[in-house]
Structure 1
Amino acid sequence: MLNVNDKLGGVPVCRLKGFRSWFDCNAMIDLGFSGRKFTWNNKRVFERLDRAICNLEWRRLFAEATVRHLPRTMSDHNPIKICLTSCFSASPALRPFRFEAMWLHHEKFNDFISEAWGPGDGTAVEKTFALIERLKHWNINVFGQLRQRKSWLLARIAGIQRALCKGPNRFLSNLETSLIDDFNNVLQQEAVFWQQKSRITWLQDGDRNTKFFHTTTIIRRKRNKIERLKNANGIWIEEANSLKILAVDHFSNLFSTTSLGDYVIDPPNLFPPVDVVDLHGLVQPINMTEVKTSLFNIGGLKAPGADGFPACFYQSQWNQCVDDIFQMVVNAFKECRIPKKLNYTLIT
C-alpha cells in the first residue's frame, strides 16, 4: 500500500515505507481506478493491495489509459482491468478557443495585436471575441506548428555543423548561431505551452522541464475526465451520447422553475455588518491604478474567461488595451453601483 487510506479496519498500517520509497525513487505514477476502492478483504479488513502503476514514459505513450476494479468472484482479490484507449473521442471542431501563452513569445505577435486591436468601436470583450478568428488564422500561417519548426531547425543545424567539419566558414558559423537562437526560442515556447496546459502554479517561471509539464497535463486531464455516470435508477452509463443526455437532463431538471407555493424562504444572517464608512468607500470613483493592480495580481496562466483569453494576454498588452479595459470596468461599476438613496441602516 502507498497511503494509510488504503486500509480500513484491523491494526494501523505500518508497512508503507519500503514500497513508498521504491515508488518515489523510480518516479512511478499510480494510474488511479474506477469502481470500488479496496481490492482485497477478509470480511473484517479491507485493503487496496492491487494497483496499476507505470513510469513517466509509459504514461505519455498511453495518455488515455484507464484502470477499472472489477467484481471478485472466485478469489478474495478484485481483478483489475487496464484499457489503453478511451471510449470518448473529442472532436477538434467542438473545442472552445483558448489563447496560447506561447504566442506572446513570437517576435511578430505584438505587431499583429497592434494592427488587429486598433482604436475601433466596441468594448474590450467585443474586441477580444472579434480577435479569435484572426488569431486562429495567424497561428496557422505565421506562428506554425512547434513540432515541425523544431524538426526543421534541428535538420538545418545538423547540416551546417556537418559542413563546418570540412573547414571554417564565417557565414555558416553566423547562420548556426542564429538558428540555435531560434531553436532555443522554440523550446521556450514549447515549455510555456505545456506549463499553461498543466495548470502548475507553484513552479516559478523560467523552468523548461517540458516532460514534467506534459506528464502533469496528462494526469490532470485523466483526473478531470468523466468516463461514466450513474443514472437515477443506479445504473452506470458509459456510452458517450447517453452520458451527454444524462448530464443535460440532470441540469435541466436542476435549474428548471418549480412552484414553491406558499413556502417562504427565510435566509439566515450570512453577512457581517458593514460600517457606513466602508459603504461610502464602495461608491467612490475607481481609478486606473487600482484597475491595473487588480489585473496584474491575477495569475497569468489561470483559467481563462468565456472569451478564452487568460490574464497574461491583457497583462502583456496593457499599453494597447488599457483604455478599453478601464472603460469596461467603469461601465460594470456603474451598473452595480449602490444607489444614493440606499438605506444604510438596513444593510448594517
Structure 2
Amino acid sequence: MTPRAINGRKRLFRFQSCWLLDPSFPNVVSQAWRDSLVDAIGNFTIEASAWNKGKFGNIFAKKKNLLARINGIQRAVALKPSNFLLNLENDLLKELDSVLNQEEEFWALKSRVNWMIQGDRNTAFYHVSTLVRRKRNQILAIKDNVGEWINEEDSVKEFIRKGFIGIYSTSLANASRINPTLSHSQPRLSDVERDIISGVASEEEIRNAMWSLKPFKAPGPDELHAGFFQKFWPVVGGIGDRGSEEDFCGEGNA
C-alpha cells in the first residue's frame, strides 16, 4: 500500500482497514498517541505512512511474490520431495492467506458495501463494486435547461456552478423581513437548555456518538474512519490524560 503520484502530486494520506490485520500496527498507534488529539493525529499520519511504506508494503506485490515462490517450491517438490521445502511451503501458504485477507479488507473499504457472501473470498466482487461506484460517480454529460446535452468538461463544470449560484441566490432583493424581536410566538430555549447545548461534550457522550457510526463508511476530514477510533479506543480515547473534550469536538474530530 505505497502512495502513488496523481498528476505529479503525492497521494494524500488514506487510512486502510487492512492495516488492522498486521500485528505490528497497534504499536504505530500507541507511539503516535502521546500528545493532544490534534497533534496525535498529525504524528500518526506521518508514522503510519512511513510504516506502510517501510514495513507493511504493497499487498499486491507481496501476493504476486508469494504466489511465484509457492509455485516454484511446488515444482521443486514434485521433482524431488524435501521436508525443508514442504515446511517452507506451509509457512508461505499461511503468509499468503494473511495477504489475501488484507487484500479483501482493502477492497471492502474501497467499495463501501455493508454486506458480503458468507464463506467465500469476495476480492473480485469488491473490486468490481469499487470500479462500478467510481464509474457511477463520474459526470460525463449533463442536460441544460432546454434539454440539450453538454459534453465538454469545462461546460459541464460551468453549468453546475451556475446552477448552485441560482439555488443560493434570490431575485427578491427588496423583500421585507419581519423583525424577529417583534415575534411573540417564536419558540425560545430556556437558560438550562442553552447551557446543555453550549456545554462541552463529556467523554461518555463522545464515546456513544462514536459507536453510533458505522465503522468504515466515509472518513472524517483527518481521513480516519470511526472504526479506527472504535478499535483503538483504549489508546485514543484517554482524553483526560492527553487533551480535552474540546479536541474531539473541534478540529480534530473524526
Indicate whether the TM-score tops 0.5. Answer: yes
Which structure 1 segments of 5+ residues have no match? Answer: 1-89, 336-348
Verify the 8 A CA contact 1:300 1:310 in the aligned structure 2.
yes
> Which runs of 5 or more residues in structure 2 are unaligned?
1-5, 181-185
2:41·2:222 contact (CA, 8 Å) conserved in 1?
Answer: yes
Give 3-state SS (helix, strand or coil) of 1:165's partner: helix
Q: 5 Å matches for 1:28-47? A: none
Distance 1:204 1:159, change over 3 A: closer
> What is the CA-CA distance between 1:280 and the residue it aligns to?
8.5
Alignment match, 1:106:
22
The whole-number CA distance in structure 1 between the counterparts of 2:176 and 2:244 is: 39
How many residue pairs match? The answer is 240
Q: 2:253 matched to 1:330?
A: no
1:160-175 aligned at under 5 Å gives the runs: 160-175=73-88
Q: Which amino acid aligns with 1:226?
A: I
**Distance apart, 1:100 and its partner CA:** 1.3
Select between 253-262 and 298-307 the one with higher mean Cα deviation: 253-262
Please state how far the C-alpha of 1:213 moved relative to its aligned partner: 1.3
Mean CA deviation greater in 184-193 or 212-221: 212-221
Query: Matches of 1:137 and 1:248 in 2, distance apart?
Result: 39
Q: What's the offset of the Cα at 1:181?
A: 0.9
Partner of 1:68: none
**Alpha-carbon spacing, 1:174–1:313, altered in 2? closer, same or farther (3 Å):** same
Give the helix-richer structure, 1 or 2. 2
Quick one: distance in 2 between partners of 1:333 and 1:128?
11
User: Could you tell me which residue of structure 1 aligns to residue 226 of structure 2?
Assistant: 311
Give the 3-state SS of the residue equivalent to 1:131 in structure 2.
Answer: helix
Q: CA deviation at 1:172?
A: 2.3
1:209 is the counterpart of 2:88: no
TM-score if structure 2 supplies the norm length? 0.73
Identity of aligned residues (%): 33
Separation in structure 2 between the aligned mates of residue 199 and residue 317 of structure 1, nearest angstrom: 21
Q: Is the 8 Å Cα contact of residues 239 and 245 (structure 2) preserved in structure 1?
A: no
CA RMSD of aligned residues (A): 4.0
**Out of 158, 161, 177, which is 2:90 matched to?**
177
* 1:133-152 equivalence runs, <5 A: 133-152=46-65
Q: Is the 8 A contact 1:157 1:179 kept in 2?
A: yes
Shift of 1:139: 2.5
TM superposition score normalised by structure 1: 0.55
Give the corresponding residue for 2:207. Answer: 292
How far has the Cα of 1:143 moved from its partner? 2.0
Larger RCO, structures 1/2 (Cα 8 Å, 6+ apart): 2
Q: Which has the larger radius of gyration?
A: 1
